[in-house]
Amino acid sequence: MTVAIRPASDTFTPRQQVVLTAALDLLVEAGDGLTMTAVARRASCSKETLYKWFGDRDGLLTATVQWQAAKVRVPAVDRKTLDPVSLKLSIQQFARDLLSTIAGTTSVALNRLAITHATEDNGLGAIVLDNGRFTMGKRLKPVLEAGRDARMLRFDNAETAFRTFFGLVLRDVQIRLLLGDKFTLTAKEIEADAERATEQFFTLYGTNQAPRAR
Amino acid sequence: MTVAIRPASDTFTPRQQVVLTAALDLLVEAGDGLTMTAVARRASCSKETLYKWFGDRDGLLTATVQWQAAKVRVPAVDRKTLDPVSLKLSIQQFARDLLSTIAGTTSVALNRLAITHATEDNGLGAIVLDNGRFTMGKRLKPVLEAGRDARMLRFDNAETAFRTFFGLVLRDVQIRLLLGDKFTLTAKEIEADAERATEQFFTLYGTNQAPRAR
DNA sequence: GCCGAACCGTAACGTACGGTACACCTCCGA
DNA sequence: TCGGAGGTGTACCGTACGTTACGGTTCGGC
């Protein structure tokens, strides 16, 4: 499932980044209705340049997705200072970041695009999966395992535990947004959801070493 | 969010159902690459007939989605014979059906199509939401409330409880499939997942009246 | 100031496909 | 037998858009 990322994926020239930004904006606005002409106009460049730089429309889309996906940053957690409270706060912060990322218009547009083209052989779906769902898992797993080593969490399989966490945090939010359901999450709601999901996760996987609440 | 369903949405003639079946098959095979010509060829009818019956491409897609969505059946639960074991079995069966439906190729293709067109004003996204996610909620809620009335479940809001259940059952399955991740669920895995999700749901929302396990 | 490379703006080409027009066939009731 | 309604197959049109080609322009190095 790992996808070959362009070696120089983050070495776009400033001018190219302007183009990619324009493409991303148009993607959010018009979805897959994005045309090469529109990108060229928005970025004040010629189509010929687009084709020279990115090969074809697919290449431009792929570059855009990679470029944006690489910007997703998930917080790392310091394993040294591990006490029940900081563990829980780390997980809760992770939940908050995950939820606000997924609920953002950029994520929705990017996932829509990738899903639309998921059956083709350009790896858009795989790229989004790798930089989204799977990267999240890789980032949180060390935290979970640290919690387990410290006897604050109990689970057999970190992957399975993460998947449950993923479900508890996102629930139906992502699919509803992807399907065009117009509902927005305020910062306050995101915070409350993150706290709820974290509580539930500790209820399912916590030990008595960990803070519990209901 | 409620969508006006065609009054006669289930009164398609057999011949029309052949056309809709062909369209659905092509949808699964080719996704949005489905063309009117291909549908006409597959169903051995003329394009002119397609346009007479369904108006335009959008109408055909909408009819196909409605027709298939109406076929989704969610199990009803008999509230009379409510004991801890049957409640849990009902919920577990619901989880199994939900998971196997969502993981099916038809559901994936339909959701892809709806997501692709979610930004347009044809109500594909809304139709799928209504017949999928929201219908599921409406069907399970009475069960949950019956469980609460019988002191076997504890929650403030049935909608919120259902959303958590939804997340526990599906986790990352739907988004991964939509993004083209090639993984399949065997009947055995679906059964195990349904049981796990149900256990976790009871851990979170059950009372001591309900069967608990870990 | 000169040269070449890179880039811009735009026009044009090719194609795919939604949608339409039309000739022909089939069936059925009078 | 006949006529018309409904259906099939096919050719065709218009359009949108990806892609290419080309003339004009900017800019860095000498």
Mean pLDDT of the residues in chain B: 87
- Domain end, chosen from B69, B101, B132, is at B69
Residues A52 and A157 in one domain: no
Q: d(Cα A6, Cα A16) in Å, to the nearest integer?
A: 15
Residues A101 and A193 in one domain: yes
Q: Is the residue at A60 inside a domain? A: yes
In the prediction, which pLDDT does A1 show? 39
Residue A87 tokens, joined: 């563990």
Overall size of chain A counted in residues? 214
pLDDT at A11 over 90: no
Interchain CB contact of A102 with B (< 8 Å):
no
Query: Which residues of chain B lie closer than 8 angstroms to A116, CB-CB?
Result: 32, 112, 115-116
Q: Is the residue at A3 inside a domain? A: no
In the prediction, which pLDDT does B82 show? 78
pLDDT at A153 over 80: yes
Tell me which protein residue sits closest to nucleotide C16, measuring alpha carbon to C1'. Answer: B35
What residues does A153 pair with on adjacent strands? A206
Which residues make Cβ contacts (< 8 Å) with residue A4, sequence separation at least 6? Answer: none
* Short-list A103, A74, A71, CA closest to A91: A74
Which residues 56-115 of chain B have a CB under 7 Å from nucleic chain C?
56-58
C-alpha to C-alpha distances, A73 to A176, B2, B11, nearest whole angstrom: 24, 37, 51
Residues B64 and B138 in one domain: no
A14 touches strand C (CB under 7 A): no
Residues B117 and B195 in one domain: yes
Q: Is the residue at A79 inside a domain? A: no
pLDDT at A5 over 50: no
DSSP letter for A32, please: G
In the prediction, which pLDDT does B200 show? 98
Residues B194 and B88 in one domain: yes
CATH of the domain at A34: 1.10.10.60
Q: Which domain holds residue B47?
A: 14-69
Place of tokens 């051995």: B44
Q: d(Cα B136, Cα B94) in Å, to the nearest integer?
A: 9
Residues B40 and B110 in one domain: no
Nucleotide nearest to A37 (CA to C1'): D17
Residue B64 tokens, joined: 């196909």
pLDDT band at A4 (very low <50, low <70, confident <90, very high): very low
Residues A60 and A93 in one domain: no
In the prediction, which pLDDT does B115 show? 94
CA distance to partner chain B, nearest, from residue A179 (Å): 5
pLDDT at A33 over 90: no
CATH of the domain at B133: 1.10.357.10
In the prediction, which pLDDT does A121 show? 78
* Short-list B128, B127, B138, CA closest to B94: B138
More confident residue, A75 or B45: B45
Residue A126's φ and ψ, nearest 5 degrees, are: -65, -40
Residues A23 and A58 in one domain: yes
- Across the interface, whether the CB atoms of B112 and A115 are under 8 A apart is answered yes
In the prediction, which pLDDT does B172 show? 98
Give the residue on B whose Cα is nearest the Cα of A165: B171
Residues A21 and A127 in one domain: no
Residues B58 and B152 in one domain: no
- Across the interface, whether the CB atoms of A163 and B171 are under 8 A apart is answered yes
Residues A123 and A52 in one domain: no
Q: Is the residue at B9 inside a domain? A: no
pLDDT at B199 over 80: yes
CB-count exposure of residue A135 (10 Å: 0-12, 13-18, 19+): middle
Q: Is the residue at A91 inside a domain? A: yes
Query: Which residues of chain B lie closer than 8 angstroms to A175, CB-CB?
Result: 111, 133, 174-175
Least confident of A146-155, B76-85, B123-132: B76-85
- Across the interface, whether the CB atoms of A116 and B119 are under 8 A apart is answered no
Residues A127 and A197 in one domain: yes
In the prediction, which pLDDT does B213 show? 52
Q: Is the residue at B76 inside a domain? A: no
In the prediction, which pLDDT does B209 show? 63
pLDDT at B6 over 60: no
User: Mean pLDDT over residues A134-145, rounded?
Assistant: 92
* Interval A99-125: pLDDT, tens: 999 999 999 999 999 999 998 877 899
Q: Which of A119, A134, A140, A196 to mutate to test the interface with B (most CBs of B within 10 A)?
A: A119
Q: d(Cα A74, Cα B7) in Å, to the nearest integer?
A: 49
